[in-house]
Structure 1
Amino acid sequence: MTTAAPDLRTRAEALGQSLPPLLAEAEMLASTVMMGEHGRRRAGLGDEFWQYRPAHQGDSARLIDWRRSARSDAHFVREREWQAAQSVTIWIDPAKSMSFTGDRARPPKSDRARLLGLALAVLLLRGGERVGLAGLASPRAGRAQLLRLAERLAAEAVGADYGAPETEGMVSHGRAVFLSDFLGDLKAIEAGLARAADRGVKGVLIQVLDPAEEEFPFDGRTIFDSMGGTLTHETRQAGDLRARYLARLAERKERLAALARAVGWHFTTHHTGAPAQGALLWAYMALQGER
């Protein structure tokens, strides 16, 4: 306890140098959404024992059930029902495809996804819920967790052109949010949803697209390169591809919506040219079961 505060101050100061605009913007965006009822206040939830789960990095030693842990080589945490119901894990696609923007006046998809994810975390943490980042930070409560999440989101895009949902660290019977363009392998997306569903996790898919990806405003000779440079296609008549492209995009959206419905999730598409408030309110209400 004696070193936690200085350590947090050090990280907060470092964060202040690297990510203040995103954190400030996220808190401002969250303030536009009215708070509703949250986790523990829901009917039917209480402090009854829910399950044991493996201890994660960052869990306090006081949370470990030593009697249960003594029966195996791993440490286990005794989780209560309200803790599971209040745990939300957010996955924000770090792949290079998210770096795309069709206009310098618009933010890249990655910036908008991080803004929405962090603003949603602000809302949930203010309501007393536990929020984490899949594979990066286990769900925890409190203001200090918001600083941790913002710090983790400062990471650069990974080497892959397209991302696949990460489910590591999700709490069984908790909730989750996937933010991505979902333009990669559908089988990988389906597998990620299946893993989450197998743990009883409910949540939302938010597809973040640039308006250029919706409208396909290309014509004449055009060279299409993936953001990672691993895929390229050259054509002299880009306009001739528009109808086929739009049909493929519509088909993908329908497929994503069907995958979400199959596991009891919600799906929506958000454009970086639109205000972020609408997508944030939609996600917040969907997580509260009001959609």
Structure 2
Amino acid sequence: MSVTPTDLRARAEGVAGHLPGLILSAERLAAMVAPGAHGLRRAGPGEDFWQYRPAGAGDGARSIDWRRSGRSDSQFVRDREAQTAQSAALWLSRAPGMDFTGGPDRPTKAERGQILTLALGMLMLRGGEKVGLLGQPARAGRIQADRLAEQLATGTAAEDAAPAHALRPNLRVVILSDFLTDPGWVADLLAQAAGLGLSGLLFQILDPDEAHFPYDGAVEFRSGSLRHDSRDAGGLRAAYLARLAERQAWLEGQARRAGWQFGTHLTDADPAQALNWLWQALGQGAR
């Protein structure tokens, strides 16, 4: 079933509604804002921050903020300095296997990934950050949420690997995939990211059937154009689960060595829990 950009955004709003906006550049801003700063104000592209300081002997009457000064016995000047906003790049796998769902009562991995990607982007946009899909321009503002919804809902290219060549300096990167295909691209991406000094998250989305392998008897397994018939699916369970655990351990190790974090999510779980993990993980990386 196709999802319109409007539907996708509405569902993402529901997931993201209870979480505060995430400011990816919190550490940088904390270092830039001097003690005694009274606020942060953004004005779109060419953003700046302002802070009050006591007026000095060299400050003329035109530089005095009389509204602020009227609330005290001292005179204050409002300083403005350039602020460099950090950008975030999000990528969601569009491999054919992402269209899998083990039951009609839960979404496909692609559908859950769309909701989480957009909801996370919306949280960062609310915090004043610039956000875009990996390989696309990162922008700030409410209209960018509409662009993200459009791109996520209409994208048709069967992308199985995140494009490492699209990485740029000063990005924080979030990669969402089932990571069930050849993972060689992950190592390449993380190596490129390390060279640029980038941090980020690897987030694995799986259907519960993929996580627990509840199959028995004769089963035909499908993944895109691939087919495999098994007369004793239960006999494959132990080997499959061992391979899955091995893959997850490899992903976690690759992420840790690159200074990234690795998380997992099942499509029968509350998407708000997944979004909360992503939010907290990015917040930890920003400190």
* TM-score, structure 2 normalization: 0.77
User: Do 2:21 and 2:125's aligned partners in 1 also have CA atoms closer than 8 Å?
Assistant: no
Shift of the alpha carbon at 1:165?
1.7
Residue in structure 2 matched with residue 263 of structure 1 by the alignment: 258
1:97 aligns with 2:97: yes
In structure 2, C-alpha distance between the alignment counterparts of 1:172 and 1:37, rounded to whole Å: 18
**Which residue of 78, 81, 84 maps to 1:82?**
84
The 5-angstrom pairing of residues 124-143 of structure 1 reads 124-135=124-135, 137-143=136-142
1:201-280 counterparts in 2 under 5 A?
Answer: 201-226=198-223, 228-229=224-225, 231-280=226-275
Please name the residue that 1:180 is paired with: 177
Q: Could you tell me whether the CA contact under 8 Å between 2:22 and 2:279 is conserved in 1?
A: no
1:189 paired residue number: 186
Instruction: Tell whether 2:40 aligns with 1:43.
Output: no
- Which 5+ residue runs of structure 1 have no aligned equivalent? 1-16, 47-59, 63-79
Residue 117 (structure 1) aligned with residue 117 (structure 2): yes
The CA deviation string for residues 145-185 of structure 1, in whole angstroms up to 9 with x for no partner, is 1111111112254346xx11224543313201000001111
- Give the deviation of 1:240 after TM superposition: 0.2
Distance 2:173 2:87 in 1: 8
* 1:159–1:284 Cα change, 3 Å: closer
Alpha-carbon distance, 1:254 to partner: 0.4
Structure 1 residues 23-59: Cα deviation after superposition (integer angstroms, max 9, x where no partner): 011112111113465525732257xxxxxxxxxxxxx
Which range moves more in the overlay, 189-198 or 139-148? 189-198
Which aligned pairs between 1:50-69 and structure 2 lie closer than 5 A?
none
The counterpart of 1:23, out of the listed 9, 15, 26, is 9
Letter in 1 for 2:117: G
Equivalenced residue count is 238
Q: What is the RMSD computed on CA atoms of the aligned residues?
A: 2.3
| Cα distance in 1, alignment partners of residues 32 and 92 from structure 2 | 29
Amino acid at match of 1:30: A
Contact 2:174 2:201 in 1 (8 A): yes
Report the counterpart of residue 155 of structure 1 in structure 2.
Answer: 154
In 1, Cα distance between equivalents of 2:144 and 2:247: 35
TM-score (structure 1 length as normaliser):
0.76
Unpaired stretches in structure 2, ≥5 consecutive residues: 34-44, 47-81
Q: Which amino acid in the other structure matches residue 101 of structure 1? A: T
| Contact kept in structure 1, 2:6 and 2:149, CA below 8 Å | no
CA distance in 2, matches of 1:147, 1:285: 24
Q: Deviations over 1:219-272 (max 9, x none)?
A: 11111121x21x222111110000000000011000000000010001011000
Larger Rg: 2
Q: Which amino acid aligns with 1:129?
A: E
Kept after mapping to 2: 8 A contact 1:209/1:272: yes
Name the aligned partner's letter for residue 268 of structure 1: G
- 1:177-215 deviations in whole A, cap 9, x for unaligned? 000001111211211222222211101111000000011
Query: Structure 1 CA distance, aligned partners of 2:18 and 2:252?
Result: 27
